[in-house]
Amino acid sequence: MDYSVVIPVYNERDNLEILLNSLTEVMDSLQKEYEIICINDGSSDGSDEVLRALKRKYEQLMVLEFERNCGLTAALAAGFFRAQGEIVITMDADMQNDPQDIPKLLKQMGDYDVVCGVRSRRHDPWLRIISSRIANYIRNKVTKEEITDVGCTLRAYKRKFLSRLKLFDGMHRFLPTLLKWEGAKVVEVEVDHHPRLYGKTKYGVWNRVFKAFIDLLAVVWMKRRRLNYKIKE
Ligand code: UDP
Ligand code: MG
């Protein structure tokens, strides 16, 4: 298998058919073997039924159902674990990411192990955009990193690096950092971003700030305590 597209889904009923339509069109054009893994993260809006119907239409679609909402990191981790593709592509289910950008990510893959999308013209409420910029700035300063857009799910990863990760809730914001520790070479690429057409965002300013700060402390601790030895020849 060449590619696995991993998509976390939490209450995205009205976006799923549009997503699958345009995603399969792009993936088919690559003429490689691929699968799409949707992780239904405890949706209560009928996304499960829509996914079941789509599964009948698209044989390349695999659906994993969580018993309850477990969060974005858990959904991604479940997808990573099931993925068979050598390259794993992640994206949001709400069509804010554009499937048309996937070939662009893959083109960069050659010399790199992780290609991160950067939403340079982001279409979200201004308060969200400003708070994300501040959060990214603080995160980068504290962890001595240079990740422009940790909140962009649209990325491509070589799967062999993903399988080295032990993930914890909230760590989706630090994936490039954790992967660099595993030896991955990371590059950034500008991608499109669209306004959300259906459903609501799951992240506000205040429901993230405290948790994301604690998570940042955890990453600082891990960075300091990470085992990083080399054995002499
Ligand atoms: N999501 C999820 N579990 C959650 C929260 C979000 O699977 O607990 C999914 C959601 O359905 C979407 C993606 O993660 O596909 C990003 O969420 P959202 O679009 O709400 O975030 P934003 O784009 O506003 O940052
Ligand atoms: Mg979104």
Average pLDDT over residues 141-158: 96
> Which CATH fold topology does 3-225 show?
Spore Coat Polysaccharide Biosynthesis Protein SpsA; Chain A (3.90.550)
Residue 27: predicted pLDDT: 98
Q: Which ligand is nearest to the CA of 10?
A: 1
C-alpha closest to that of 29 among 83, 100, 84, 95:
100
d(CA 168, CA 30): 33
Tell me the C-alpha distance between 69 and 72, whole Å: 9
Amino acid 207: pLDDT: 75
Ligand 1: list residues with CB < 6 Å.
8-10, 12, 41, 69, 71-72, 75, 92-94, 96, 151, 201-203
**Residue labelled with tokens 């479940």:** 78
In this structure, which residues have their CB less than 5 angstroms from ion ligand 2?
A: 92, 94, 96
For residues 192 and 172, what is the distance between their CA atoms, to the nearest angstrom? 20
* Cα of 228 from ligand 2 centre, angstroms: 36
Q: Which residues pair with 4 in a beta bridge?
A: 35, 88
pLDDT in tens, 20-70: 999 999 999 999 999 999 999 999 999 999 999 999 999 999 999 999 999
Tell me which amino acid residue 38 is: C
**pLDDT tens readout for residues 179-210:** 999 999 999 999 999 999 999 999 877 878 88
Share of the chain above pLDDT 90, in %: 94
Mean pLDDT, to the nearest integer, of 80-86? Answer: 98
Mean residue pLDDT across the chain:
96
